[in-house]
Amino acid sequence: MRRRTKRILIGALAVVVLLGIGGVVAGWAYGRSLNNHLARTDAFKDVPQESRPTQVVQGALNVLLLGSDSRDPDKTADSRTDTIMILHVDADHKKAEVISIPRDTWVFVPTSPDGNNGNTMAKINAAYAWGGTPLIVQTVEGFTGVHIDHVALIDFSGFADVVDALGGVDLKIEKTIKSIHAPYRTFKKGTQHLDGAEALDYVRQRYQFADGDFSRERHQREFLQALLDKAASAGTLANPVKLNSFLQAATKSLTVDQDFDLVDTAVELRGLRSADLTFMGSPNAGTATRDGQSVVLSDKTKAKALFQAVADDTVQSYLAKTM
């Protein structure tokens, strides 16, 4: 499991992690202005309280990160989420972990609020199409046993503007491929400097890789990490105009739950560093066919151990034993 070792000051964890980028919200008034302009959603409406896991450890924080790509050329008509992650911040606020859940993971989806869907096994991202944010919150909590405190929805299509505001990002291309989408770019193996349109084109590719959606999920994590590094660089933080352009573009790509507060979160977690952040995937047992669909099967034993560690706020101990 790879950890990033570059230490950067994170003035606002919400900006760094919830947007998948790094940076500083300089000044209370400016941070409050950003917070007031965030789009909001009632993420916990109609989620039965009796079905929700108990919040075991006071001070720990669990945020459900949902990524969609509204302009993905491969996207179907329904509004399924492309990326599902849980951000866990330890109660002492010294470490944080981001756990990816493959969108095709085969799970139980509860009945949708309108009663027309759910109460069945399905791909986890079907929950969002059937019941919006509240149903995917309920589904993820049921699958993991982890209490979700906040939700952030990220539109990756809007990140082209974010990347361009930063002057592009460096991404490590794992092998030479040709995009299946117009204008059919060729991405050469090795570290390449990409603008916003190029970066998004690359992270949308999956058919050229043997592990398909797993590769796209991995590339999305690498893309977010590249944004983190670039946004937190001295060249961005020392340039007020560039920093403002970046933050304004970033907040336009984010929707949060009604109770999320950017400034309070930034103040509370201002000491967290990039080196304290670990990315990992939910353990799986490979792919299979269910109801005529290609799905990802969870490794129930390993996943249970990981998510129990999240619920108990013992992830660092879990990592020490499993790495």
pTM for this prediction: 0.81
Residue that wins the pLDDT comparison between 37 and 318: 318
Q: What is the pLDDT of residues 33-60, one digit of tens each?
A: 888 888 899 999 989 999 999 988 989 9
Query: Average pLDDT in the 162-187 region?
Result: 91
Residue 245's pLDDT band (cuts 50, 70, 90):
confident
Domain, as residue range, for 95: 13-165+242-315
Of 77-81, 88-92, 216-220, 260-264, which gets the smallest average pLDDT? 77-81
Domain membership flag for residue 146: yes
Residue that wins the pLDDT comparison between 277 and 317: 317
Q: What is the pLDDT of residues 183-237, one digit of tens each?
A: 999 999 999 999 999 998 998 888 899 887 778 878 877 887 777 777 766 566 6
Domain membership flag for residue 216: no
Domain containing 265 — which CATH number? 3.30.420.590
Query: Average pLDDT in the 67-90 region?
Result: 67
Cβ neighbours, 10 Å, residue 77: 6
pLDDT for 7: 29
Mean pLDDT of the chain: 82
Q: DSSP assignment of 131-189, as one string?
A: HHHHHHHHHHHHHH-PPP-EEEEEEGGGHHHHHHHTT-EEEEESS-EE-SSTT--EE-S
Furthest-apart CA atoms within the chain: distance in Å: 54
Number of structural domains the chain divides into: 1
Domain membership flag for residue 246: yes
Domain membership flag for residue 173: no
Domain membership flag for residue 228: no
pLDDT for 23: 39
Q: How far is CA 246 from CA 17, 21, 201, 237, in A?
A: 15, 10, 20, 10
